[in-house]
């Protein structure tokens, strides 16, 4: 989040779905409230940046 690594708690695929995963992660403790960016990567594949609200 915001360029820092987050702890991944679980990453699981959906049965019967193609290229769909649920990723549960812990936000780094020093992440400020407001909007934050997330970019997921697996192996050599980097996903697009997404903005989420942190409360």
By the 10 Å C-beta count (0-12 exposed, 13-18 middle, 19+ buried), 32 is classed as: exposed
Model pLDDT for residues 1-55, shown as the tens digit of each residue: 898 989 999 988 888 888 788 889 999 999 999 999 999 888 888 989 999 999 9
Domain of 42, in residue numbers: 7-54
How open is the CA angle 29-26-21, to the nearest 5 degrees?
155
Whole-prediction pTM: 0.70
Domain count, the chain: 1
Instruction: Establish if 16 belongs to a structural domain.
Output: yes
Cβ-based neighbour number of residue 36 at 10 Å: 19
Confidence at residue 8, expressed as pLDDT on a 0 to 100 scale? 92
Residue 49 lies in a domain: yes
1 lies in some domain: no
SS3 of 10-28: the string is: EEEECCCCCCCEEEEEECC
Q: What is the pLDDT of residue 25?
A: 92
């Amino acid at each position: 989040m915001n360029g820092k690594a987050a702890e991944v708690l679980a990453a699981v695929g959906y049965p019967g779905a193609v290229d769909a995963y649920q990723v549960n992660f812990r936000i780094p403790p020093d992440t400020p409230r407001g909007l934050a960016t997330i970019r997921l990567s697996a192996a050599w594949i980097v996903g697009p940046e997404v903005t989420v609200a942190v409360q």
